[in-house]
């Protein structure tokens, strides 16, 4: 078999590549952990940051770092992706409530289309 031949063997997995590529359009260096956090938030919109710790097995520091990247303020002194909002939960001021922005909802919609094969 020619190693340079592009033979598709699993179109469902190619859809995952398409999803990763969509995020790379937003930021070429976006880590997989940031994408994982976005997909979790999009599928549980809104949710608390502690849920990401428990469900994804991430530390609080990792959740903070990844959600900063997804929000409007990236830690590396550059704009964030502006896909989520981080707000103090009014019912418990010690918790952060994470929800999708309009841009985040649009990206989530595009990802669902990609997963559906459209």
The pLDDT of residue 1 is above 60: no
> What CATH number should be reported for the domain holding residue 29?
1.10.10.10
> In angstroms, rounded to a whole number, what is the distance separating the alpha carbons of residues 78 and 116?
33
Question: Which residue range is the domain that position 56 belongs to?
Answer: 11-116
In angstroms, the CA 64 to CA 52 distance is 10
Provide the 8-state DSSP code for 45: S
Domain-embedded: residue 6: no
Q: What is the pTM of this model?
A: 0.87
Q: Is 84 helix (H, G, I), strand (E, B) or coil?
A: strand
pLDDT tens track for 38-63? 999 999 999 999 999 999 999 999 99
Cβ neighbours of 4 (radius 10 Å): 5
Number of domains within the chain: 1
Q: Give the tens place of pLDDT for each residue, 62-84.
A: 999 999 999 998 777 778 999 99
Q: Is residue 4 part of a domain?
A: no
Helices (H), the chain: 11-26, 32-43, 49-56, 60-70, 102-116
């Amino acid at each position: 078999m020619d190693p340079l031949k592009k033979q598709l063997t699993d179109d469902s997995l190619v859809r995952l590549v398409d999803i990763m590529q969509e995020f790379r359009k937003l930021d070429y260096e976006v880590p997989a952990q940031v994408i994982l956090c976005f997909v979790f938030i999009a599928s549980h919109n809104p949710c608390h940051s502690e849920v990401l710790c428990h469900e994804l097995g991430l530390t609080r520091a990792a959740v903070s770092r990844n959600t900063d990247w997804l929000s409007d303020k990236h830690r590396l002194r550059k704009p964030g992706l502006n896909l989520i909002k981080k707000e103090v939960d009014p019912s418990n001021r010690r918790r952060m409530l994470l929800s999708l922005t309009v841009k985040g909802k649009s990206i989530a919609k595009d990802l669902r289309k990609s997963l559906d094969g459209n």
